[in-house]
A = this chain, B = another copy of it.
């Protein structure tokens, strides 16, 4: 495995924010990610954060204010980009909700996406192996995300109990098979046979993959995408109730889908993971 190259680095809350790139075997192109390393010495637990549509590896590090809490609990934050970029895949830049910035954390099986758009395997396998090789970390990890990244966190988390001790999501696309964003992306990346979509729909997955890990979800009640039926947390909640999956779903009156909402609740999420990862 090739090493990641640090392209820029900033001191922050006693630790360091670093931006990295590396040649990805999984995505067959250069991939980028960011890391916050706390000042705490010795191996630290890792929290992966998956970002939403249009984001890069930078948005969360700049806007969420998460470093303060990660510093407090001694957690490393790892934030991958949301897709491969500049791969010359036909149509990759035609829409903001497909292709570039919109990898949806799936392994594409359909042309023209299948060569590069392997974000599920990238996030679950290649990136953690690279992080383990590059930094002093504990084996325990948590996974969190926002919107499309909330979907990714629920899917990666539920399908990989051995890899993630804790799962949470902010305003996730919680039932992608039933919402316009999800239907569009899953059709393009996976094809029209919807049986292949189940592995990437948290509300389906939890019916067969429920376990004892408590899931935390925060959702703004005035989120325009909630109103538009893109997020559907109630579908996920019902599935959790059906199968006994512990879930805390908190609705926040007045809050929307923005980073002002993320900044407001991210402290609670980092505490949720810190507790599960033995960092509290």
Contact = CB atoms under 8 A, between A and B. Distances in A.
A14 to B, nearest CB: 8
Interface in A16-53: 17
Interface residues of A, number: 24
Nearest to A267: B68
A248 to B, nearest CB: 19
Contact of A65 (B10, B11, B17, B65): B65
A264 B12 contact: yes
Contact of A255 (B11, B65, B68): B11
A234 interface: no
27 contacts: A10-B256, A10-B260, A10-B261, A11-B220, A11-B222, A11-B255, A11-B256, A11-B260, A11-B261, A12-B260, A12-B261, A12-B263, A12-B264, A13-B263, A13-B264, A14-B264, A17-B260, A62-B62, A62-B259, A63-B63, A65-B65, A65-B68, A65-B263, A67-B260, A67-B263, A67-B264, A68-B263
